[in-house]
Structure 1
Amino acid sequence: MPAWVLDDPLAVTFRLPRDEPLTMGLDDLPNPALARDLAVGVTRLAHPHGPIARAGTATQYVRTARRMVRELHAEGFIGGAAQLRRTVLVAYWLRGHYGVEHRTRRMLRALEEAAPVLPPETRDLVLGRNFKKPPPNTPLPPYTPGEWSRLLDTCRVLIRQSWRAHQRIVPIAEAGADPAVAGWSEPNIAWLLRRWGPVGRPAVAEHLGTTIRRISILGGLPEVRDALFPAMDVVIAYRLLLGAYTGIVPDGLDGLDLGDIDWAGDDTVLLSYLKGRTGDESLTLSPRASRLLRQWLRHSELLRGHAAPEVRDRFWLAATYQRTAAPPGFSDCMLRKWIAHHEVRGDDGEPLTLHKHRVRTTYHAERATQGWSGHATIDPNHSAQAEGDRYLAVATPAQQAAVNAIITDAQADLLRRAERPTVLTDDDTVELVAQFPEQAAGLVLDETVLRELVGGQRDVFTAACADQLVGLHGPKGKPCPARPWVCLLCPLAVFAPRHLPNLLRLKAFFARQFRQMPREQFAAVFGPYAHRLSAEVLPRFAPAAIEQAGQQVADVDAELPLRPEEATEEAAW
């Protein structure tokens, strides 16, 4: 069972997924009868039967039960759930906030399912609707580009400095000796700590037969310890940066174990995690997230060897001033101290308000601006179904017009993608006029424009563009901002033999992306473009021309105008 009641003394014990066993006492409450009834209701709400899947949620429910027992006892109620009257519950719920009513209703409903004890009128009340409404929950906005850049730069600098210090000190520790015999020096301190773990001054002073004050005067112990073993500041930086690189829910990242890592080759990592609202999920990490994860495992390897057996397999470990390493909890208070210590500022000049869910929101917002066809356009924490139910139920004519405009644009985009590409097997103006698609018939294409299309004056990277200012992929009157592969589906693009080298470079880029991305993600991001290139554009050219153009392709990212986040080659994260 995931939870049960202990009677002597009265307590509730939970065994929840990915959490240590948790026992909370109820024997100090003034009304043992009601306390036990509520305890039974709480245990019936434990995962997988109810919403209590984490230790924090269990603590919240038990605290609410304790509060109810104390407050009702203060008003003179001394019976159990069987003596609860409708008037008592109505008065209690009306003066409390939504959370108290919501949780106590659930406890009493679960108790009634386990053993019907409530009076009929009280049962009807408990099974009815809440009096209070939940407080409005507005989605967290993503961080601004400036705030996001400052936060990630702080994490990268802190990790880089700590990792370099770790790489420097480990070989030095191998060359050291016991400081009790060879004297006090950096190599000897490192030698001792590598064998003893992240111990503090008292243990070292006792080993050397001296005083703690003497160790403080000699100095060097904290610096060597922080270099050998990642301190909490460094662990937080790794945690935030991994969240910024993956977008995994905070509770999923915080609860990781080593067993959640599945190595699918040297560079590909499948990370499994628990999402509280949906259950077990997994994600194939990007190259930079995989490199960061691999570096963290190497960085924490020495520390893990000194950790207690019960925490050794935890993914996140931080050095303490003891002989063991304890897994940190990334609380809001701890994150606020980290922000203040490293002076990370918001755009208003004040200390940045750091929220782990907001990191995930910013990750999805960043991907939405990089050509990722994600569905979460309003709140990335919602599913497509939730967004459709919540946001597409229009109430005003203006909202209806906006939704219709979105649908019209989407349908027009589908029609444009269905058109055959214009491919010239020979640079000939007559052929261009014969093959140009009907979608461009409304444009003013005089003889000068046709000559420029054929002659190369209107070339972009992969094609010649009939009009970069028409606004198919950006604001009208402004140069087209589309990425190079978008031209493959654009009705204004004209492909000629002179474009073959760049088309083949784009094909090689797709192949590199396919090797490093999950198949479903590649199909969503690059699939339509890769199919158009391989099935409809390149087959129109002669094999000899393709072979000759292929000799100019080096299959490297430098051949394409890519942004840093679009790189496919190994690079420092």
Structure 2
Amino acid sequence: MFGVYAGVVPDGIADLQVGDIDWAGDSTILLSYVKRRTAAESVNLPRAAVRLLEQWLAHSTLLRGLVAPTDRNRLWLGLSQPGHPRLIREVDRVVLQRWVLRHGLVDVDGQPLKVHRARIRTTHHAMRSKRTWTGNARATIDPNHSPAVEGDHYLSANTPAQRQAVESIIEDAQHDLLRRAQPPTVISAENAAALADGYPQLIAAMHLDDTAIAELVGGARDVFTAACGDQLAGLHGPAGKPCPARPWVCLLCPLAVFAPRHAVNLLRLKAFFARHWRQMPAAQFMAVFGPYATRIDQILHRFDPDGLAAAAAEVGDTDDEIPVRPEERTA
């Protein structure tokens, strides 16, 4: 428990002496300990660790006065073998196993729990991360919980409102996966008849009439990378409001229709992805831009190579060609 509160390594805790405790006030302790992998270190203990030490020193006062003078300076004193007491010299693996059996601690499989000392500091970091949100996974995942317990603790929904919220999150994720699996809608000729004849399911899903089809094909509904079937549909924002999605989100939107006139902006966006790829770690790039970088290649593959070559001549490979926010710009 002291290791969980203080974050001191287990080997440093085991060798502590009473003289290592330096009181810097009524409620402040500067603790000196030896970390075997490095050297002597010191730490200003948090309030919970200070209270625990105060309780332990008060609890062990009587025993400390009865043991041999050579052992009185040891911080951790204890007796084992009830009825035949002897001073505990070291808390080893055998002692931990006996303690687990005596208290009947079992894991998820019903076997005696294995106490891993490495979890002491991990638990300390997990508790510290939960105090303020830092984006660390330790703030949501407890190192001492099994996957089943984690699922019951974080994914169980007890009230109807909670269940509805969880189901909405699952539905949104499923819809997102379905949208990514659908092929992009790319028209090779800018005429309404070809669009209506070639994509009847698209027309039915968008609920487009002849006027809307003409606007879609003619460029009246163009956004940066595509022609949008309905900017007020609310797929990426409030329904009835203009879509707030970033330019690359259109690449996976089911309302987007790509025409040859969009090739220049698509190539500019591809160059934007390439600049970020050179600057960002691969894992971070794939998490942020990965699906969109894959989709843009699928779209451009359906365009005429000669048209792409002509469009590439208009790409300057700068952020000024793309409507990005200051924090999204590449250096």
Which bin holds the TM-score, normalised by the shorter protein?
A: 0.5 to 0.7
Unpaired segments ≥5 residues, structure 2: 1-9, 22-31, 68-77, 106-120
1:409-451: per-residue Cα shift (whole Å, max 9, x none)? 2112211221111111121212211333735514331111011
2:305 matched residue in structure 1:
543
Indicate how the Cα distance of structure 1 residues 84 and 559 shifts in structure 2: closer, same or farther if over 3 A, else same. Answer: same
Matches of 2:131 and 2:81 in 1, distance apart?
45
Indicate how the Cα distance of structure 1 residues 450 and 440 shifts in structure 2: closer, same or farther if over 3 A, else same. Answer: closer
2:160 matched residue in structure 1:
397
1:82 matched residue in structure 2:
79
1:277 matched residue in structure 2:
122
Indicate how the Cα distance of structure 1 residues 517 and 440 shifts in structure 2: closer, same or farther if over 3 A, else same. Answer: farther
- 1:5 touches 1:11 (CA, 8 Å); kept in 2? no
SS of 2:139's partner is coil
Q: Which amino acid aligns with 1:277?
A: T
Shift, 1:522, TM fit: 1.1
SS of 1:506's partner is helix
Give 2:255's match in structure 1, choosing from 475, 489, 492. Answer: 492
1:15 matched residue in structure 2:
34
1:111-138: per-residue Cα shift (whole Å, max 9, x none)? 554796xxx9xx7999579xxxxxxxxx
1:222 matched residue in structure 2:
none
Give 1:553's match in structure 2, choosing from 315, 319, 325. Answer: 315
1:379-432: per-residue Cα shift (whole Å, max 9, x none)? 872249686443211112332222122212211221122111111112121221
Matches of 2:239 and 2:36 in 1, distance apart?
54
Matches of 2:257 and 2:322 in 1, distance apart?
19
SS of 1:277's partner is helix
1:209-254: per-residue Cα shift (whole Å, max 9, x none)? xxxxxxxxxxxxxxxxxxxxxxxxxxxxxxxxxxxxxxxxxxxxxx
Matches of 1:109 and 1:492 in 2, distance apart?
72
Kindly tell me the number of residue pairs found equivalent between the two proteins: 273
Indicate how the Cα distance of structure 1 residues 523 and 109 shifts in structure 2: closer, same or farther if over 3 A, else same. Answer: farther
1:451 matched residue in structure 2:
214
Matches of 2:284 and 2:265 in 1, distance apart?
24
SS of 1:14's partner is strand
Matches of 1:540 and 1:124 in 2, distance apart?
65
Indicate how the Cα distance of structure 1 residues 114 and 436 shifts in structure 2: closer, same or farther if over 3 A, else same. Answer: closer
**Aligned residue runs from structure 1 range 444-483, under 5 A:** 444-483=207-246
- 2:221 touches 2:229 (CA, 8 Å); kept in 1? yes
Percent identical? 46
Matches of 2:100 and 2:299 in 1, distance apart?
69
**Aligned residue runs from structure 1 range 208-227, under 5 A:** none
- 1:109 touches 1:127 (CA, 8 Å); kept in 2? no
User: Which TM-score applies when normalising by structure 1?
Assistant: 0.41
Matches of 1:503 and 1:519 in 2, distance apart?
22
Aligned: 1:526 with 2:289: yes
Indicate how the Cα distance of structure 1 residues 124 and 563 shifts in structure 2: closer, same or farther if over 3 A, else same. Answer: closer
1:69 matched residue in structure 2:
57
Aligned: 1:418 with 2:181: yes
**Aligned residue runs from structure 1 range 298-447, under 5 A:** 361=133, 364=135, 381-383=139-141, 388-436=151-199, 438=201, 440-447=203-210
1:562 matched residue in structure 2:
324
Indicate how the Cα distance of structure 1 residues 511 and 112 shifts in structure 2: closer, same or farther if over 3 A, else same. Answer: closer
CA RMSD of the aligned region, Å?
Answer: 4.2
Matches of 2:34 and 2:60 in 1, distance apart?
29
SS of 1:441's partner is helix
1:248-268: per-residue Cα shift (whole Å, max 9, x none)? xxxxxxxxxxxxxxxxxxxxx
Q: Which amino acid aligns with 2:218?
A: G
Matches of 1:450 and 1:83 in 2, distance apart?
85
1:300-326: per-residue Cα shift (whole Å, max 9, x none)? xxxxxxxxxxxxxxxxxxxxxxxxxxx
Matches of 1:109 and 1:429 in 2, distance apart?
87
Which gives a bigger RCO, structure 1 or 2 (Cα 8 Å, sep 6+)?
Answer: 2
Matches of 2:193 and 2:286 in 1, distance apart?
37
Q: Which amino acid aligns with 2:330?
A: T
Q: Which amino acid aligns with 1:558?
A: D
SS of 1:414's partner is helix
Matches of 2:294 and 2:57 in 1, distance apart?
65
Q: Which amino acid aligns with 1:381?
A: A
Indicate how the Cα distance of structure 1 residues 110 and 60 shifts in structure 2: closer, same or farther if over 3 A, else same. Answer: farther
Shift, 1:551, TM fit: 1.0
Matches of 2:257 and 2:279 in 1, distance apart?
30
Indicate how the Cα distance of structure 1 residues 426 and 547 shifts in structure 2: closer, same or farther if over 3 A, else same. Answer: same
1:344-381: per-residue Cα shift (whole Å, max 9, x none)? xxxxxxxxxxxx9699736x4xxxxxxxxxxx8xx872
1:4-45: per-residue Cα shift (whole Å, max 9, x none)? 6488x965963338975148xxxxxxxxxxxxxxxxxxxxxx
Q: Which amino acid aligns with 1:70?
A: A
